[in-house]
Amino acid sequence: MKFIFFISALVLAFFSNAIGLSDSIIKNDLRSVQVHFYKGDFQTFLVKAEMQRELVFLIASADNCFPCEHMEEEVNKNQKLIKYLNKNFVSYKYQRDESTDSYLEERYKLHQYPAVLFLDSHGNVIAKLVGKRKPCEIYRFAKKIKKRMQKG
């Protein structure tokens, strides 16, 4: 009887562990979905966007900027926004610090952070949102821009 109880407890422990492991794998997969930001210089990124005729999502932030950090955290938690951006835009993240080139700041008149820009494939501004924005607001803008650009 003790042997059966021992085997039952062992089987139960094994399946509990297996279920817990699969839950953690699923949770990790959900957490790993993030906006696919291009890694590299902006000029190369823009050439690729133009060749692919893709709309551009650009998020600009600065070092030691609490609203920037907070907005990025919220964006990275919003799966609906992330999936929409990854499907319909190519994305670039600009991080302002003391050593960054001011090309983007001059071209897009980035004087306040955070900022979200929607660009056409040539790098022309379609819309610019300055200041901390909620993911739902960014999502609405992204959908409007995509729809407007498909018409024209």
Instruction: Please check whether residues 26 and 97 belong to one and the same domain.
Output: no
Interatomic CA distance for residues 145 and 127, integer angstroms? 8
pLDDT digits (tens, 9 = 90+) for 74-127: 999 999 999 999 999 999 999 988 667 688 899 999 989 999 999 999 999 999
Strand order in the sheet with 89-96: 37-38, 89-96, 55-62, 115-119, 125-130
Residue 111 DSSP one-character state:
-
Q: Give the global pTM.
A: 0.76
26 and 58 belong to one structural domain: no
- Shared domain check, 92 and 49: yes
pLDDT of residue 32: 55
* pLDDT, mean of residues 42-66: 93
Q: Which has more pLDDT, 93 or 28? A: 93
Asked whether residue 144 falls in the same domain as residue 114, the answer is yes
Mean pLDDT is lowest, of 19-28, 64-73, 76-85, for 19-28
| Domain span holding position 12 | 1-32
User: Do residues 60 and 132 share a domain?
Assistant: yes
Residues 1 and 40 in one domain: no
Please give the tally of structural domains in the chain.
2
Q: Are residues 6 and 54 in the same domain?
A: no
State the angle between helix axes of 135-151 and 79-88 in degrees (0 to 180), rounded to the nearest 10.
30
